Structure 1
């Protein structure tokens, strides 16, 4: 166990156990989630020169929660690593991936369920401050991305209101790299930038301050979607993190029907393409990248509605639909006009649920001369849930410049004792807009089909075992969509995993 985590347990466990005897509003839960994977084309097509890979990754998490009539407080410490990435005996200089996943407090400003509040104006009013997950609706645009071992969280403040079936949340965040006294301005370098990078001659050099290096010498545009930046931070395949955001979320529940609306504005630091000269002996090389030392921000806004409802009273049919528009300017300052839509119908028959649906995310037409970016970015959601479990799209492995059309059919089985469930999903992927091949001709829009088979079994109330097997049967167009050299990759790819999720509640009998 990590020495820091062991120290925290040693110091705080006796205190927590003592408090628990007095108050039932204190909880301490844990999670250990090792996942073994076999990858032969996960995230992108497997190059013909590559071989399959196997590994085990793991998340260990400890969550402490305290709740009283006036405040809710939660911290979540987690360690994420791959088995064997550290030697069996490490030195004090070796790093680790122990970090704070959550640390927030929610000040209860009003609560009608608590008689100590006199004449509360609404059912509930609270102010949540600190590092936290933002999870709304089906997590299409804002989600915790729990599939990813490191998850997703934000340093933010959220004002939360509940009243008579209405929910209204108003949130904001502001990012900065350092609080150093000699820091000049509020420029933000929006990535987990490596300490060193190789120059154009292959020599190792310290990464310049305020700089996101390129892995090649080409400028990168969100309109073309070409990869190239070292360690981009967003799991939605974007090249830079936000400087700030503000959002308003409102929802109303009518019996089993829920309608919700979102307005989300995020701002990105402006940059210039720059190079830094590096002299190493007789070599004169350059480091190319983006330098974030410009005044002003590029502001993007995303807004839309979602509806989830059964089709009639006690009907086995249901509908889920949404539409979101994206405007303003993208991360690179280009004018932005993009949208996404989704429509899904469900039918519940005893132990089975059948769900046909269609997702559409707009993109750029390679034959258009427009300077406006039409490529929709699904913000900070949980893409693993929607566009195939093999994560070919919007999940950190680049998204197609031409957008995406995903027609799917899902079957879900839930056993009578509810200890076992299984799902079989089929996706038919296609480009939303025309793209070119190396000869300048239009490629076929059909990208390929994916089949995902996943099963879950509950060993006990703390332990869940999950296994999955997925197949991607790609068309030649997928190579262009993934920015691969034509005829360089295998078109039939597979991925499988076995995961055990252990979530003990230390105060539960």
Structure 2
């Protein structure tokens, strides 16, 4: 924590210098209090609900000139009370959130390199995961074309990850030095993203390859290919996406699908969105082929219900899901009340302990979120969600479906600009 204080002081001093560029110093303080009683998976009478407050605190330094942009951001994540009030040292969670530089070859071509958010479209495949207090970051290089006149963008991303299990300089030449042992992360990544927009439509294409380290020192390659887009049709906004995964994971080949479609109707009172999304599961997890789709680097909290029963952490495994949903919002008390209703079915055939096929219906989730802007640009959220689970959900997840399964939370976000220099 001391390092952040020292660096913050230095950054503030630097902003007093007259430079031919724009320097901005900003901050974010975001505490969120949660009551969890069936969040992510079913609870039962043997478990007590959880009540806690987790806080994210960030400091941003942005530098922009005609030729370059640079961002350095520090953050601290902690649960209230986890550290003593009086201490000389602690197991801190303060670290660099972002640290990247972007060099402009000209107004439309640039190179961006460093620790950064990689987020596109509805964040289904690549997202910043900013709902989570820690967020998601990549150490990568991006080659970017962004033509404002023709509303066209093309990004190519590259990454090669290595860990520091052997200290320098022996690490560079030690036996097994190229073995990557950070669980859940890719060893290599390459992707291309293309986007074309007009006044009423948008279309994005993505092709991504990820290399994962195997225990036998080989590397498995998995590819994700697909598109997402939307267009206006007779006053109705039609959106959809389709992604296919192929390649290998260990000795198993991959063939998996995500597909969705939705329609939004404007009314005099509120917009109404109806949609369905299918994410394939695996009928036989022991077979030679993986048929369960994995949205590895998306912001999965934004999809398939806010209670995070699906694809947040290890949740849902190889089951898959068919999500039929209805979404709307209302202007209430100077803010917006958003309501989402999800009906969840399995995305594959599942059997119980007795070998009989389980019914596909897993449960219904209702999400309510009230959002209001307060004075000074402060943003307040208040949310409540409830899951009505079925026998199938209980068979797959355990717990007790007859117990109340709910989640309530409130979050306030302060995002002040502390200093902006004259350009």
Q: TM-score range by the shorter chain?
A: over 0.9
- The equivalent of 1:188 in structure 2 is 180
Q: Of residues 154, 158, 161 in structure 1, which corresponds to 2:142?
A: 158
- The 1:157–1:508 alpha-carbon spacing in structure 2 relative to 1, beyond 3 Å, is closer
- The equivalent of 1:322 in structure 2 is 241
Corresponding residue SS for 2:9: helix
Counterparts of 1:435 and 1:349 in 2: how far apart (Å)? Answer: 40
- The 1:182–1:382 alpha-carbon spacing in structure 2 relative to 1, beyond 3 Å, is same
- The equivalent of 2:60 in structure 1 is 63
Cα contact 2:391–2:401 (8 A) shared by 1: no
Aligned length: 413
Displacement of 1:138 in angstroms is 0.6
Counterparts of 2:132 and 2:269 in 1: how far apart (Å)? Answer: 29
Counterparts of 2:155 and 2:269 in 1: how far apart (Å)? Answer: 36
- The equivalent of 2:316 in structure 1 is 399
1:51-450 equivalence runs, <5 A: 51-92=48-89, 94-111=90-107, 124-163=108-147, 164-178=150-164, 180-183=168-171, 184=175, 185-191=177-183, 240-271=184-215, 294-312=216-234, 315=235, 317-330=236-249, 332-350=250-268, 352-366=270-284, 370-414=287-331, 420-450=335-365
- The equivalent of 2:10 in structure 1 is 11
- The equivalent of 1:507 in structure 2 is 419
Displacement of 1:305 in angstroms is 1.2
Cα contact 2:389–2:401 (8 A) shared by 1: no
Q: Which has the higher contact order (CA 8 A, sep 6+)?
A: 2
Displacement of 1:480 in angstroms is 3.1
Cα contact 1:46–1:490 (8 A) shared by 2: no
Counterparts of 2:394 and 2:85 in 1: how far apart (Å)? Answer: 40
Cα contact 1:156–1:171 (8 A) shared by 2: yes
Cα contact 1:139–1:382 (8 A) shared by 2: yes
- The 1:47–1:91 alpha-carbon spacing in structure 2 relative to 1, beyond 3 Å, is farther
Cα contact 1:351–1:413 (8 A) shared by 2: yes
Stretches of 4+ aligned residues off by more than 6 angstroms: none
Give RMSD over aligned pairs. 1.9
- The 1:369–1:82 alpha-carbon spacing in structure 2 relative to 1, beyond 3 Å, is closer
Cα contact 2:194–2:206 (8 A) shared by 1: yes
Aligned: 1:28 with 2:25:
yes
Cα contact 1:422–1:453 (8 A) shared by 2: yes
Corresponding residue SS for 1:407: strand
Corresponding residue SS for 1:322: strand
1:179-202 deviations in Å (ceiling 9; x for gaps): 6322332001123xxxxxxxxxxx
Counterparts of 1:64 and 1:27 in 2: how far apart (Å)? Answer: 6
Displacement of 1:370 in angstroms is 4.2
- The 1:106–1:414 alpha-carbon spacing in structure 2 relative to 1, beyond 3 Å, is farther
Query: Is 300-309 or 342-351 further displaced after alignment?
Result: 342-351
Displacement of 1:397 in angstroms is 4.6
Cα contact 2:390–2:401 (8 A) shared by 1: no
- The 1:423–1:264 alpha-carbon spacing in structure 2 relative to 1, beyond 3 Å, is same
* Structure 2 residue runs without a partner (length 5+): none
Cα contact 1:414–1:422 (8 A) shared by 2: yes
Corresponding residue SS for 1:9: helix
Corresponding residue SS for 1:18: coil
Counterparts of 2:289 and 2:416 in 1: how far apart (Å)? Answer: 51
Corresponding residue SS for 1:388: coil
Cα contact 2:253–2:289 (8 A) shared by 1: yes
Cα contact 1:270–1:333 (8 A) shared by 2: no
* Structure 1 residue runs without a partner (length 5+): 112-123, 192-239, 272-293
Corresponding residue SS for 1:389: coil
Cα contact 1:474–1:492 (8 A) shared by 2: no
Aligned: 1:453 with 2:375:
no
Displacement of 1:91 in angstroms is 3.1
Displacement of 1:38 in angstroms is 0.5
Displacement of 1:23 in angstroms is 4.9
Counterparts of 2:168 and 2:402 in 1: how far apart (Å)? Answer: 49
